[in-house]
Structure 1
Amino acid sequence: MKKKIAVVFGGQSTEHEVSLKSANQVMNALDKNKYNIIPIAITKSGHWLIGRSGKKYLEDNLKKANRKDGVPKKYSSVGSSLIPKKFPEIDLVLPIMHGSFGEDGRLQGFLDMLKLPYAFSGTLASALAMNKEKTKLIAKVAGVKVAKSVTLKKSKKFDLEEIISKLSLPIVVKPIELGSSVGVDLAKSKTALKNAIKTAFTHGDEILLEQFIKGRELTVAVMGGEKSKVLPVIEIVPKSSSWFNYQAKYKVDGAEEICPADIPSKIYKKAQTYAIKAFESLGCLDLARADFIWENQSENLYFLEINTIPGMTETSLAPQAAKAAGMDFPEFLDKIIQTAVEMSRKV
């Protein structure tokens, strides 16, 4: 008997368009002989479109997702507010959402209240992993090396000279709860730092200032289950910038991705070990992807963050790693669904 899989996508975050691209490829790759797919679109206005209306929303807005200005909010104000009883009977929710409202525990908590099983991490792990400061604190306790950082709150005063003294320029400035490198900047001067802080605060009330580590960028996906399985390490070599910013991530040929990474075995194993430690200490489930910086000319490997719903197009980093491990994209999705269904039955 086919499983009913509800694919939830869109949402009110700045990563709405990224979600549409991921969801489109996921739904195309899911085996139609195994699954009945129920599209559920969440518009930028927060309306839920289930089934045919969700599919139509994706079809109508997928091309707009590739435009610089993305999907206009005025085209999102259709449909009606979600009424839980309207949910069709489903076996599993597959949330293909990134950033606020979809990856930060709020959607997961809502699904918990509805008693609907879902893939990827639960409410607590999702909320913790979305907050870069909390993620680093937990990873550090688990024995994972992290870069020095300072957290700023919009409501509190701060001293730029003191920050520069502690972290040294250049300094990486990040919104504390966004993904896909949205709002991230590398400040190389005091003036640039002041401007980057101002910009980052437009994305939220807290930001993270982090010591810049000059080195090679690595990422490691971990799959959950009875025992965590680590996938091959990928090295990311930015081409359009000196570091892996938003443009490098989503611009065509913005970065070269080498899988498996051609790095010393000691660093390779350390990256995989650190990834599992971060995954398990935060309580992640099914799949997550941890990002690292390997400092040039040393054996220091620094953990940056973990993504509980990483990019899910066929050429995204986690699916690439799965392919290197012998799983094509449909098989990779099968494994995520199978693990999520099995684990939900044990709760």
Structure 2
Amino acid sequence: MKKNIAVVWGGYSSEWIVSEKSMVGICSFLDTKLYNVYSVKIDRQSWNVVADGAEYPVDKNDFSFSVEGEKVNIDFAYITIHGTPGEDGHLQGYFDMIGMPYSSCGLMASALTFNKYICNNYLKNFGITVAKSRHFTKDMSYDLGQVGEELGYPLFVKPNTGGSSFATTKVKSLNDFQKAMDDAFNEAEDVVAESFISGVEVTCGCYKIGNEKTLLPLTEVVTTNEFFDYNAKYAGQVEEITPARISEEMTLRIQQLTSRIYDLVGAKGIIRADFIISDNVPFLLEVNTTPGMTVTSFIPQQVKAAGLSMTDVLTDIIEEEYKKVK
């Protein structure tokens, strides 16, 4: 009998637009010979299964839904919400409570990695190299002139708990600093200012099935924009080269770092770790536990370059997590 798979997308942040694209990608990858696939949209107003132009409310007691009086039970949730509540541990906690297996990292790992500042400083304690940074909340007092002197210009200002480069600004002088902070605070409750690192940007995917971890080929990110911003990510203003044009030695080093980070944060499912290589030193930018999954996203590119099938990879992840719970 086919399992019923819910591809859960949407969320409460600006990233719901990206989440929708990932949902379409995942639905195209899943093996419909094995699974009945349902799209489940979550927003602040409702949780609904979207099918054939109709919407069916989700029963939050057990994550089921009904069609013409017939109950449909979901067997597995594939979470592709970029942002809250699907990337920060909230949804994971709910699924843990009702005993629903799901694709991504658990509550603790999701909460840790979603907070960029805390995650990077946690990993720094284990020898992972990260950029110098400062953390701010709305009720803090701070001297931007002093921060600029400490971090140097240019620097980056971004929401601490966000992604897809929304409200991220490359600040070149003190004159631009306050507006960048205001933009970031409009997106999140806390903000990070981070030193600029010049170098080659790469990203590495990783997943684990049983005791076997798979480190994917690296992707090199090249853009003529100021940085890898929203337009570079989603409007084609970027060149993505897989495998990355770096030495085998550096490739192996970054794969090993990604593997170590996977274990240190307690990850499961597919993650992606982003780095900038500067003066032959890889600096960790961030850890992404619900990476983009459009047909042209980094992970599908890397899976293809590794000679693997996205359909097979997702099937392995679903079956691995399903057997743990069921």
Partner secondary structure for residue 74 of structure 2 = coil
2:60 pairs, out of 83, 98, 105, with: 83
State the aligned residue count. 318
Q: Does 1:329 align with 2:314?
A: no
2:138 maps to what in 1?
154
Offset from partner CA, 1:225-265 (integer Å, 9 cap, x none): 323221111100013x031011100003x111111111022
Cα offset, 1:25, TM superposition: 2.2
Distance 2:197 2:39 in 1: 41
In the alignment, residue 238 of structure 1 is paired with which amino acid? T
In the alignment, residue 308 of structure 1 is paired with which amino acid? T
CA distance 1:11–1:56, change in 2 (3 Å):
farther
2:223 maps to what in 1?
238
CA distance 1:86–1:155, change in 2 (3 Å):
closer
Q: Does 1:208 align with 2:214?
A: no
Distance 2:14 2:304 in 1: 29
In the alignment, residue 2 of structure 1 is paired with which amino acid? K
Offset from partner CA, 1:59-113 (integer Å, 9 cap, x none): x9xxxxxxxxxxxxxxxxx865743246132321111211111111111111111
Distance 1:336 1:137 in 2: 29
Q: Does 1:189 align with 2:150?
A: no
Distance 1:35 1:251 in 2: 32
Structure 1 moving runs of 4+ over 6 Å: none
Cα offset, 1:286, TM superposition: 1.2
In the alignment, residue 17 of structure 1 is paired with which amino acid? I
1:289 pairs, out of 266, 272, 275, with: 272
Contact 1:142 1:278 in 2 (8 A): no
Distance 2:175 2:320 in 1: 49
Cα offset, 1:218, TM superposition: 0.5
Contact 1:106 1:123 in 2 (8 A): yes
- Taking the TM superposition and a 5 Å limit, the aligned residue runs for 1:211-290 are 211-225=195-209, 226-239=211-224, 241-252=225-236, 254-290=237-273
In the alignment, residue 216 of structure 1 is paired with which amino acid? V
What TM-score do you get using the length of structure 2 for normalisation? 0.92
Distance 2:11 2:59 in 1: 13
Contact 1:97 1:309 in 2 (8 A): yes
Aligned-pair identity in percent equals 35
Distance 2:226 2:220 in 1: 14
In the alignment, residue 315 of structure 1 is paired with which amino acid? T
Question: For the aligned residues, what is the CA RMSD?
Answer: 1.8
2:286 maps to what in 1?
305
Cα offset, 1:282, TM superposition: 0.8
2:11 maps to what in 1?
11
| Structure ranking higher in strand proportion | 2
- Taking the TM superposition and a 5 Å limit, the aligned residue runs for 1:157-172 are 157-172=141-156
Distance 1:82 1:98 in 2: 23
